[in-house]
Amino acid sequence: MPEPAIHVADLRKTFTVPVREGGFLAAVRSFVRRQHREVHAVSGVSFEIAPGEVVGFLGPNGAGKTTTLKMLSGLLYPTSGEVRVLGHVPSRREAAYLRQITMVMGNRNQLQWDLPALDSYELLRAIYRLHPDDFRKTRDEFIELLDLGDLVRKPVRNLSLGERMKVETAAALLHRPQVLFLDEPTIGLDVTMQKRIRSFVAEYNRRYGATVLLTSHYMADVQALCKRVIVIHHGRILFDGELATLAADFGADKTIAVTLKEGAPERIDFAPYGEVLGSEDGKVSIRVGRGRAPDVAGRLLHDLPVADLTIEDPPIEDVIESVFAGASAEAPERTPEPAATR
């Protein structure tokens, strides 16, 4: 079995943050006696990712995704636990490590605002000490893959958000990193641009065998790129496995879509079969409990003149939402009482 590209064991990150009530008196009190409390952003996370694997890292805002990615990239020092990426301890921030990774944070600009992206690319070539021939080859390859064309010759400030994200993504990968931490890489982009970035990441992964850990609130990103997902909430992992089994594990329901044959009675009451979600162009969608789905499907086929019938898992967004909803109901208070005063 190959050595994992990313190894994380019992990783924790606790921030100590100042707290005070609003108002003048509270401001004066905090001047004399500052209160702090501990926020457990990541609480004992463990997982491994194999070389070349593309994994979705899912969770609501504040779940601990970005904090985990920052610890993996070396931007944050873990409070405790073990992290190894490509055999390196990220918090040491060795140049040899930084040369093998990249982190793309949506809406963060690392290019020179006033100059064409090509100038920034040259600077990155120098910073990463890339051989000019290899750099040019990679750059031209990315320009073609992302259909950048003349965008790299315009000042970055003149580009639209989508165009800027494309040139930014190319910039982040020019040194051909082996591990990609992508934190909301498509945030704020239109559907076409999202697809372009997605297909680029997929192609990069295919060509260079890179390992990818991706966070995104757009499930289309995750579905297009990731076979495996890790779901995190309140700093803890709720699910780690194939995206396909997520629905099986957490989706309590199935959706049965029925289309009746022509000439079938127009007014049929589907309520006895399950919760009717809607009807469109002769196709009726019914939600039923996962365990009841085969039975209900059988009854529908028996009772009615069915032309077509499909049993589907609910949309992945709904499944994820139900995972978080379940976890929230069980989760302990996330931010305990002030733990220390200074």
Would you tell me which residues interact with other proteins (CB under 8 A)? Answer: 15-16, 41, 67, 70, 73-77, 91, 93, 95-96, 98-99, 101-103, 105, 108, 110, 112, 114-115, 119-120, 122-123, 125-135, 138, 175-176, 206-209
Q: Which two tokens stand for residue 176?
A: 């051909």
CB 246 to other proteins: min, Å:
28
- In DSSP terms, 13 is beta-bridged to 42
Choose between 65 and 254: whose C-beta lies nearer to other proteins: 65
The H-or-E segment that residue 219 falls in is: helix 219-225
Choose between 117 and 258: whose C-beta lies nearer to other proteins: 117
The H-or-E segment that residue 220 falls in is: helix 219-225
CB 182 to other proteins: min, Å:
13
Main-chain dihedrals φ then ψ at residue 209, nearest 5 degrees: 65, 30
The H-or-E segment that residue 90 falls in is: none
CB 180 to other proteins: min, Å:
12
Sign for the pseudo-dihedral over CA of 6, 9, 10, 12: negative
Cα 145 to Cα 148: distance, rounded to the nearest angstrom: 8
**Contact between 260 and 279 (Cβ < 8 Å):** no
CB 135 to other proteins: min, Å:
8
Choose between 130 and 300: whose C-beta lies nearer to other proteins: 130
Choose between 291 and 336: whose C-beta lies nearer to other proteins: 336
Cβ contacts of 301 within 8 Å, gap of 6 or more: 309
CB 200 to other proteins: min, Å:
15
CB 119 to other proteins: min, Å:
6
Choose between 41 and 226: whose C-beta lies nearer to other proteins: 41
Going edge to edge, which strands form the sheet with 6-19? Answer: 80-85, 6-19, 35-49, 340-341
Choose between 34 and 108: whose C-beta lies nearer to other proteins: 108
